Structure 1
Amino acid sequence: MKIGIGLPNQVRHVRPTVIPEWARQAEQAGFSSLGTVGRIAYPGVMDTVALAAAAGATSTIGLLSTVLIAPPWPATLLAKEAAGIDGVSGGRLTLGIGLGGRHDDFVVDGLGPRGLGKRLDSDVQVYRDVWRGEPIGGGTNPGVPAGTREIPLLFGGMVPASFERVARSGEGYIGASMPAGMNKPAFDAVRAAWSDAGREGSPRLVAIAYYAFGDIDQGRANIHDYYMGMGKELADMVAAGVSGGPDAIKETVESFAAIGADELILNPSLDDLSQVAQLAATVL
């Protein structure tokens, strides 16, 4: 199982200048990917911006959104944005996307929190049309340079429609910010949907988990704050699941390896740069 690290882009009031150096240190340490956690109505750095900054600061490490909330975006704009990040990184982006669950993230007129599944399916086709160089905006010009590739797509979500979307339109699946045992049924369902759809090989299964060194209580408080928009019960559960310190983090890694995750992204709960080296010393 590969081990990646998240950028601290959605730690409340993150210091944005930390992000490029965090990315550089993560690449030097040998992590497989840099991930982002994304929402709009929160005082962090937009995942597309964080990924672009990471792309410019690195040259080999993978880039992965885990997950970007796609339906609030006009599809053509997100497709062009993602193509730009992928292009400047030299083809290192994987776009992990989900529906979103908090109404305040839907800030664009006409793109409210209704009919999200159907809208995402339609948006995926728009993304691919843009990446293939088809004209946009009713004119004759494509929106991306020649040679733009189709960016690999992963999908999040905990319902059967999400698993079927992976099998129909994606390269894999991103689990929820929950313990391995709670993600196992979803991983199994994605594998079954993949097989039922007649897809060759296996879906890429990515897990995510939060960690903290040092001020573990503050790390848990940050994660609780981030998830409160989805209710106290969920916020309590995710915050309690933050792996605090080396032993807990090692146990988390082992638990996700045991359910067959291909990659685990360990997301920070603090924006202290020392978190990168401490995690590398623990898990790499």
Structure 2
Amino acid sequence: MRLGLRLPQRLGVDLQHDLVEAARTAEAARTAEAAGYASLWTYELLLFPETPVEPYAPPDVPWPESGRQAADPLAVLTAAAVATEEVRLGTAVLIAALHTPVQLAKQLATIDQISGGRVIAGMGVGWSTDGFQAAGATRADRGRFLDETLDVFDAVWGPDPVTFRGPRVVIDNASVLPKPVSKIPVMLGGGASNLGRGTSSNALRRIAERADGWLPLLTTPGPAGAAELRASWDRIRHMASEYGRDTSRMEMVVVGNVTFTDRPAGPDRSAFAGTLDQIMDDIHTAAEAGADELIVDLNLQDWFTGTRRMLETAVEIRARAVAAGV
């Protein structure tokens, strides 16, 4: 199983200091690549509502203070593209309803050209009503906006001239450049009981029918979590085969949102919450579930005083994974 790393993006209360840290994206990307990480990833957080419409996770989990704001995911990914040579560069995930489809397709294709064809487009429907409202969308729009965005990707990343008609987007016999170096893999998040939000048959169908891979969260530690994730992945691939797709080309890239604790977390802990030893156990669980890759996300640590401390921890996790034969 390969390991990927989410790049540092968070912006907290001390914005001047944090923006200086965010400017070290190139250093972070180079360090992660040198340490052997196979991929670098960004995430999307448009805004942090002071009085959110809904909790961060049901039934009443508050929004994490450590992630109050995040630098723009595509700008950070562009900096990483310039600073690296081989690692894949992905988004996990962009929220389709927050973007204009054609502009997003051009941005991703541009980064793909800059990087020499290393981009992975991780997409999702999103869930925050506050974010949707800021972008002029609603929760009811999110599924159809994602479907239209995927349709636009297919159209504008194909040959020119492009003609496309959708609910929002109309392109009439026009050239749309740049094109990606080659087909950009599109991976989709959701579809399982991520953050307790339930299972969506529509999400599973969309992944099986349209995606090059799945970006699930591992939420349950140990054998039960591995079995749960493996069962969902098997279901997706079975559905994909019924659509006539080559499932051997599909990837499961698990997201591990790490939260360190001073003492070992109890038996009711969530995956990737606990001591470093427990986090390493969860990395093994992802491998046992059949993950092709695991994204290590260290952006939630309040005690990280800067990018350098985060990178030291990332390098240690990579070294321990190699030593353990992951």
TM-score tier (shorter): 0.7 to 0.9
Correspondence for 1:231: none
Correspondence for 2:4: 4
Q: Structure 2: which 5+ runs fail to align?
A: 49-68, 164-169, 192-199, 302-306
More moved, 144-153 vs 188-197:
144-153
The answer to whether the 8 Å contact 1:153/1:170 transfers is: yes
Does structure 1 residue 249 correspond to structure 2 residue 279? yes
- Give 1:33's aligned amino acid: S
Query: Which among 89, 92, 99 is matched to residue 63 of structure 1?
Result: 89
Query: Which among 89, 108, 118 is matched to residue 135 of structure 2?
Result: 108
Query: Which among 29, 36, 41 is matched to residue 30 of structure 1?
Result: 36
Q: Structure 1: which 5+ runs fail to align?
A: 221-238
CA deviations 1:33-61 (Å, max 9, x no partner) are 11122221141112111111111111100
Does structure 1 residue 262 correspond to structure 2 residue 292? yes
1:44-59 correspondence runs (5 A) = 44-59=70-85
CA deviations 1:14-41 (Å, max 9, x no partner) are 5312322111100001111111222211
Correspondence for 1:162: 203
Correspondence for 1:210: 257
RMSD of aligned residue pairs (Cα, Å): 2.6
Cα displacement (A) at 1:143:
2.9
How high is the sequence identity, in percent, across the aligned residues?
29
Report the Cα distance in structure 1 between the residues aligned to 2:203 and 2:130, rounded to whole angstroms: 22
Does structure 1 residue 79 correspond to structure 2 residue 105? yes
Cα displacement (A) at 1:139:
6.6
CA gap 1:130/1:64 in 2 versus in 1, 3 angstroms:
same
Cα displacement (A) at 1:169:
1.4
CA deviations 1:59-115 (Å, max 9, x no partner) are 100111111111211101111111111110110011110000001222233x33323
More moved, 189-198 vs 31-40:
189-198
The answer to whether the 8 Å contact 1:246/1:282 transfers is: no
Correspondence for 1:175: 216
Report the Cα distance in structure 2 between the residues aligned to 1:275 and 1:11, rounded to whole angstroms: 19
Larger radius of gyration between Structure 1 and Structure 2: 2
The answer to whether the 8 Å contact 2:109/2:179 transfers is: no
CA gap 1:275/1:96 in 2 versus in 1, 3 angstroms:
same
The answer to whether the 8 Å contact 1:131/1:148 transfers is: no
The answer to whether the 8 Å contact 2:30/2:84 transfers is: yes
Query: Which among 149, 152, 168 is matched to residue 185 of structure 2?
Result: 152
Report the Cα distance in structure 2 between the residues aligned to 1:98 and 1:89, rounded to whole angstroms: 23
Does structure 1 residue 40 correspond to structure 2 residue 78? no
Correspondence for 2:59: none
Does structure 1 residue 278 correspond to structure 2 residue 316? yes
CA gap 1:134/1:16 in 2 versus in 1, 3 angstroms:
farther
More moved, 92-101 vs 246-255:
246-255
Report the Cα distance in structure 1 between the residues aligned to 2:105 and 2:235, rounded to whole angstroms: 28
Alignment TM-score, normalising by the size of structure 2: 0.72
Cα displacement (A) at 1:149:
3.0
The answer to whether the 8 Å contact 2:271/2:282 transfers is: no
1:128-139 correspondence runs (5 A) = 128-132=154-158, 133-135=160-162
More moved, 153-162 vs 180-189:
180-189
SS for the counterpart of 2:78 is helix
The answer to whether the 8 Å contact 1:128/1:150 transfers is: no
SS for the counterpart of 2:207 is helix
Correspondence for 1:188: 234
The answer to whether the 8 Å contact 1:69/1:97 transfers is: yes
